[in-house]
Amino acid sequence: MEVGGLLEDCLSAAREKPGSVEISDSVKLKYKCCRESLCEELASLLEEAEQMKWPFVPERWQYKQSISPTDKTNLNDLIGKNLQQLLDLLKSSIMAQEPQTSLAVMFLVDRFLYWIDESRRLLKITKLLNRWYPEQPIAPQLIIRVARVFLNSGIY
């Protein structure tokens, strides 16, 4: 499935008001399976994003004193290669009402989706999750992206 279709599925899931439907065991299992299927590097990035360790998605090597060739992983390549898996996790986390994971995935894929001109749907999902879960912090990168996209589109 193409990126736009996957984001549309995520947007549809985000439109469902949390608590309006009981979360089924199959939805919980799908979320767990999606999360556990991430490669070690993505799982580590997701965990750090959930803990909001940085305001913007970093290249890991930026924060190291001594850099080896293995430290220079290009996150754009990693995200691009695993985008479908990440968007599947996004959808399953929304359906399982796991907003911390949903927002962390959105944080990780934001730049990549911006570069391929698919930010609008992601930002609509961000707004919906913020409405349903106002207590969940949103990464500054996503807040700035909302402002930038709307400013560039002439809405503000």
Residue 68's pLDDT is what?
56
Structure tokens at 1: 């499935």
In a domain, 119, yes or no: yes
Nearest to 105 by CA among 77, 139, 74, 143: 139
pLDDT for 27 equals 95
Query: If you search the block for the tokens 């106002």, which residue do you land on?
Result: 134
Q: Is residue 90 part of a domain?
A: yes
Average pLDDT for runs of 10 along the chain of length 156: 90 90 92 96 91 72 48 74 96 96 95 88 93 92 84 66
Q: Residue 88: which of 73, 116, 109 has the closest Cα?
A: 109
For residue 56, tell me if it sits in a domain. Answer: yes
What are the φ/ψ torsions at residue 97 (nearest 5 degrees)? 55, 50
User: Has residue 115 been placed in a domain?
Assistant: yes
Q: What integer pLDDT is reported at residue 59 of this predicted model?
A: 55
Record the pTM.
Answer: 0.85
Which pLDDT value is given to residue 73?
58
Q: Residue 7: its pLDDT value, please?
A: 94
Give the Cα separation of 114 and 122 in Å (integer). Answer: 9
d(CA 78, CA 143): 23
Any domain includes 65: no
Question: Is 140 inside any structural domain?
Answer: yes
pLDDT of residue 52: 84
The answer to whether residue 66 is domain-embedded is no
* The predicted structure's pLDDT at residue 20: 80
Q: Taking Cα atoms as reference points, which of 7, 11, 12, 14 lies closest to residue 132? A: 14
Distance from the first to the final alpha carbon of the chain: 33
If one counts the domains in the chain, the total is 1
Residue 28 within a domain = yes
Query: What pLDDT score does 154 carry?
Result: 66
* Cα 77 to the center of its chain, rounded Å: 16
Range of the domain at 130: 3-17+24-60+71-153
DSSP H helices, the chain, are: 3-15, 25-36, 40-50, 75-81, 83-95, 99-115, 119-132, 140-153
